[in-house]
């Protein structure tokens, strides 16, 4: 199963963070928004230490999330930094971190690297064909029906809250059932 999370690199802490691969080990979270803070907080349940790499000198996260992160003894923040590369023999062993203010690169021993650098739904191609709100397709509450009859939306393009594979699969099933019903 370790190979399925790409040797220790993941874009979903909730999906993969509890795996034995990351338990009681140092992990790195990339990002400085609410999602990154939430993922870092979640990972503290399992990891021995969480280092956040934040490209800027401030976080974009809400004040509440920033406070939670700063008060958690398992989380440290590296400002003005980004991953430069990763190394390991089949599984992640270290993250090479670039200091953006100095241009230097140093190494963090880590078993996990979690990307939480934002999410933009891929809906631009729709133009004004469907009703969108902040880039997400608007659906009738509790369904996958869109502003156009016979068009159904599922997954990350309409889910601004959870944005998880399991919820995308569930809404995909809903859309399929609703489309089938509409066709008949």
Q: Which residues are catalytic?
A: 12, 15-16
Note whether 53 and 97 are within 8 A (CB): yes
- Residues 6 or more apart whose CB falls under 8 angstroms from that of 169 comprise none
Note whether 154 and 138 are within 8 A (CB): no
CA dist 125 and 15 (Å) reads 29
11-to-5, 98, 116 alpha-carbon distances in Å? 9, 20, 6
* Residue 89 three-state SS: coil
Q: What's the full length of the chain, in residues?
A: 184
Per-residue buried b or exposed e for 11-20, using 16+ beta carbons within 10 Å of the residue's own CB: bbbbebbebe
CA dist 25 and 22 (Å) reads 5
């Amino acid at each position: 199963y370790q190979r399925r999370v790409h040797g220790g690199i993941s874009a979903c802490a909730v999906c993969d963070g509890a795996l034995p691969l990351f338990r009681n080990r140092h992990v790195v979270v990339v990002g400085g928004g609410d999602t990154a803070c939430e993922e870092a907080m979640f990972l503290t349940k399992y990891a021995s230490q969480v280092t956040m790499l934040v490209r800027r000198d401030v976080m974009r996260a809400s004040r509440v999330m920033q406070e939670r992160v700063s008060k958690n003894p398992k989380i440290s923040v590296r400002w003005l930094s980004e991953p430069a590369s990763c190394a390991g023999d089949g599984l992640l062993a270290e993250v090479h971190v670039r200091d953006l203010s100095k241009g230097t690169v140093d190494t963090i021993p880590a078993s996990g690297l979690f990307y939480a650098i934002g999410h933009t739904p891929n809906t631009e191609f729709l133009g004004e064909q469907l009703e969108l709100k902040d880039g997400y397709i608007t659906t009738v509450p509790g369904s996958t029906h869109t502003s156009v009859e016979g068009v159904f939306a599922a997954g990350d393009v309409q889910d601004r809250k959870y944005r998880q594979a399991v919820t995308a699969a569930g809404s995909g099933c809903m859309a399929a059932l609703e489309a089938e019903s509409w066709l008949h």
